[in-house]
Structure formats: C-alpha cells, structure tokens
Amino acid sequence: MTSPTTPAASNARRRLLKSAAAGAAAAAALAAPAVARAQSAVTWRMQALWDGGTTPQKFEEQFVKRVAELTGGRFKINLFAAGQIVPAAQAFDAVRGGAFELMKTFDGYEAGKIPAFAFTSTVPFGFPESDQYEAWFYERGGLELARQAYAPAGLHYIAPTVYGQEPLHSKTPIRKMADLAGKKGRFVGLASTVMGAFGVSVTPLPTSEVYSALDKGVIDMADRGDLTANFEAGLAEVAKYVILPGFHQPTTATAYVANRGAYEKLPAEFKAALAVAAREVSASLRQRILVNDATVLDKYRAKGCEIIRMPDAEVAAARAKAMEAWRAAAKDNPLAVKALDSQVAFMKALGLLR
C-alpha cells in the first residue's frame, strides 16, 4: 500500500524533477556544439606545383597551416608536392574526378582546351607589376571570369597567387628578340602562343620536367618559376644564360582550384578560410621573392651564369606582335575575348597601352 504524499514531499519532488530537466537541457546545450564541431570537421588532400623543400612549396605549407588556424583545426589539408599523387599533367582531371580535392596549378597548362585560361595565368609583354595583375583579379572582375572558365569542368577557382616575372633560362645567349627564332623552348599558356609568334618551337612541358629537358638538350630555353625557385631547382647547372626582364611572363598567377562538389559542401567559414589564406600567401610569397631576387643573381653568377638584360627598346618594339598573339590565343571564344578585352581596358587605364 502506497503511503500518502505530503505537500512538502510533493514540492520537493517537483523541485527535483525541475532540476533534473534543467540539467539535462544544459548537458544537451553543451553537447550540441561538440556534435556540430565533429560533423563539420573536414580533411582534404592537395597537390602543389612545386618540388618539396623549395621556397614556393614552403608557402603552400603556410597556406594549409593558415587554413587550419582560421578554422580552429577543423579543416585539415594534407599537402603533397608535385607529382606525389599524380603526374602534374594529370592533376586537372584528377581533381575534377575527385581523386583529391584541391590543386595548386597554372591555368596556362589547360589553355589549349579552355582559351580563357591564357589570360588568367600570365600576359606576355603585359602587366609589368604583379600588383596590377592582382588588381585585375580582385577589382576588375578577373576572379569571376576565372570561376566561369572553370565551372563547366566541375571545378571551382578559389584565388590566385600572383608574383612577378619568371626569367628566361637559356643554353645559348639571347641578346635581342631576333635571337629567339629557330630555338626550341618550354613555354605554357599564352606564352606558348606569343613565343611561337617570335619563331620559337614550343614544347609545353610540366614544371617538373624542365631541368631534365634542358640537361638533355631537348630544349634550348625555358621558363619555369621565379629566379629563386629556379636556382633551387638547379637550372644554373643546365642553362648558363639568364635573360631579364621576363618579357614572356612579366607577372605570374598560379591558382588554388578545388573540386566543385567538395567545395560546395564546405561550411561558409571554411570557404572564407580558403580565400583569406590564399590572399595572404599571395602577398607573402611575392614579398619573399622580392627579397630573394635581390641576392640570388649573385648565386647564379657564382655558378658561371651570365645575366643578360634585354634592352627596353627591344621589349617595347615587340609588344605589337605580342598583342596580335593575344588576340589569336583568344580563339574567338566569348569568355576568353571578354577576359582579354577587360585586361586591355585596364592596361589602357593604367597608361600601359594606348
């Protein structure tokens, strides 16, 4: 037989139940963020353009570290050097197919298939300052044009890394534009079209194959990367002439490009972290290159290289032919023409073209 409940006991029971309910609610509230955090943790794989241990690759290490910092460690990107997952030439298709989520690439590699990429990678005889080229991306609609170009392939263009000239490394002296004719050279993107117009037999080799191609005499000259990166890659050993300025690539844009499906699944804060980290790395790498370039030429000379300065008058006189090649590279593709027209308008606004 149940004992009758006194009013005091009943009140105590109600207080106990109320306290238990409040405790359960608090526990649920504390647990919810933990569940959300666990659900939003993401791990990606990224293959870069660069060999391990080189200066540009160290900045990709900074990029993935910064993304992790900005997301409280919830967005981890495992970084691989050039060719560690797939050969460099296969990265575009590998990311599109979902073999890994992110690549650092040079749009010019695919310019033959997607003409707009000729103008999102470099403009031979074009913007002389990297800040001008980067401004085109962020202030003159270039970023959106790059994304439109990648979208049909199932890829998302995140942001560029913009830095200065890439020098020309040659096994024979190039002292005037006429010396280019008849030479075999490694160039990619818009530089392929432009250098072809100057009589160069162009071979679009991946970055990782430049050293061996020069060493074996497959090519006479090549662009590859900035002065410091090329020294670190050993080009001073296989090409004894360094031609400046890099008229074929006065400014350079490499790019962070993701599988679009994987990108669209990211929470907004992770997408923002990618954009912020990418722009920080762009500025940081550019500044490091400026500092390194001031001293690395002496290292080339110590290796027996001759630094050749192409006369300004030679570069200026060649610009008209280069502009014709720009238009040819657009191939009447509407998006490529739009990108080219946008760049020409900006160059005119800057006083670079008349």
- Residues 6 or more apart whose CB falls under 8 angstroms from that of 74 comprise 37, 40, 41, 42, 270
Q: Per the structure block, which two tokens stand in for 289?
A: 């290159």
C-alpha separations of 67 from 1, 44, 73, 279, 282 in Å: 67, 11, 8, 12, 14
Q: The tokens 């080189």 sit on which residue?
A: 54
> What does the pLDDT profile of the chain (354 residues) look like in tens digits?
333 444 444 444 444 444 444 444 444 444 444 444 444 799 999 999 988 888 889 999 999 999 999 999 999 999 999 999 999 889 999 999 999 999 999 999 899 899 999 999 999 999 999 999 999 999 999 999 999 999 999 999 999 999 999 999 999 999 999 999 999 999 988 999 999 999 999 998 888 899 999 999 999 999 998 999 899 999 999 999 999 999 999 999 999 999 999 999 999 999 999 999 999 999 999 999 989 988 999 999 999 999 999 999 999 999 999 999 999 999 999 999 999 999 999 999 999 988
* Closest C-alpha among 257, 205, 255, 254 to residue 96: 257
Encode pLDDT of 299-311 as tens digits.
999 999 999 999 9
Q: What does the domain layout of the chain look like in residue ranges? A: 40-161+252-291, 168-250+298-349
Return the CATH superfamily for domain 168-250+298-349.
Answer: Bacterial extracellular solute-binding protein, family 7 (3.40.190.170)
One fold for 40-161+252-291 and 168-250+298-349 = yes
- How is domain 40-161+252-291 classified at the CATH fold level? D-Maltodextrin-Binding Protein; domain 2 (3.40.190)
Q: The tokens 């009140």 sit on which residue?
A: 11
**How far is residue 179's CA from residue 235's CA, in Å, rounded to a whole number?**
21
